[in-house]
Amino acid sequence: MVEVSIQHIIGTVTLIGLVISAGLFYTIFTTFVQDDNRKKELGQISENVALNLEEMINLIKFSKYSSDYMIKIIDLPTDVGGRSYQIQLVNDTNRGLYVHTFLTTQQTVSADSTIPYNSGDIPLKFNTAETIYNINVGVDNLKIACSGTIYGKNGVVIWANPDWNNSNGNSPSLITIGIGWVEAQQ
């Protein structure tokens, strides 16, 4: 029979615990760093969408000819760190209008960007519809699928539609803005 001293048993258990602790620390640390990097990338995406929406709003405000949908196709990544993400337009009574991006599988990893809009003159309306509907725009009759939430994919579109009813003739009385994606060309 082999005799094992208690010191060897304690040393072995301590060494195993140390190896497991180091592995757990490494996993927790790398997960934290990955989530932080993903939050930064989501922040860049939401900022990009918010600034493009602001640009679209300004185009409509200062171009007095548009009476139909205006669209802009923007280039966004299809995933963030290998994970799918979603973009939502949110109209919150406390925070106002903002763009919210989050990982589909881990919604705590998210970022928000307020639309830098001076709301003094023309009211804005976000298209926050959860159901998908289509609009056709342009001379090409480009088919755009619209929804208040979109997933990261190619062909992301921001759009705006001015309402000239009840306006003073210089600017629209309401601008509806939204997001979607190119569905197909007719």
* Residue 31 reports pLDDT greater than 70: yes
- Is 118 within the bounds of a domain? yes
- Is 57 within the bounds of a domain? yes
pLDDT in tens, 80-135: 888 899 998 888 878 878 899 999 888 889 999 888 765 556 777 777 777 676 77
- Is 144 within the bounds of a domain? yes
Range of the domain at 176: 8-185
How many angstroms separate the CA atoms of 147 and 151, rounded? 10
Please report the pLDDT score of residue 138 as a whole number.
Answer: 66
Per-residue DSSP letter, 80: B
- Is 2 within the bounds of a domain? no
Please report the pLDDT score of residue 186 as a whole number.
Answer: 42
Please report the pLDDT score of residue 111 as a whole number.
Answer: 93
- Is 1 within the bounds of a domain? no
Let me know: does 85 contact 93? Beta carbons within 8 Å.
no
pLDDT band at 62 (very low <50, low <70, confident <90, very high): confident
CA distances from 164 to 25, 39, 80, 122 (A): 60, 39, 39, 11
Average pLDDT over the chain reads 81
- Is 153 within the bounds of a domain? yes
- Amino acid at the residue 109: V
- Amino acid at the residue 146: C
How many angstroms separate the CA atoms of 73 and 131, rounded? 21
pTM: 0.77
Backbone φ and ψ for 177, nearest 5 degrees, come out as -125, 155
Q: Total structural domains in the chain? A: 1
- Is 3 within the bounds of a domain? no
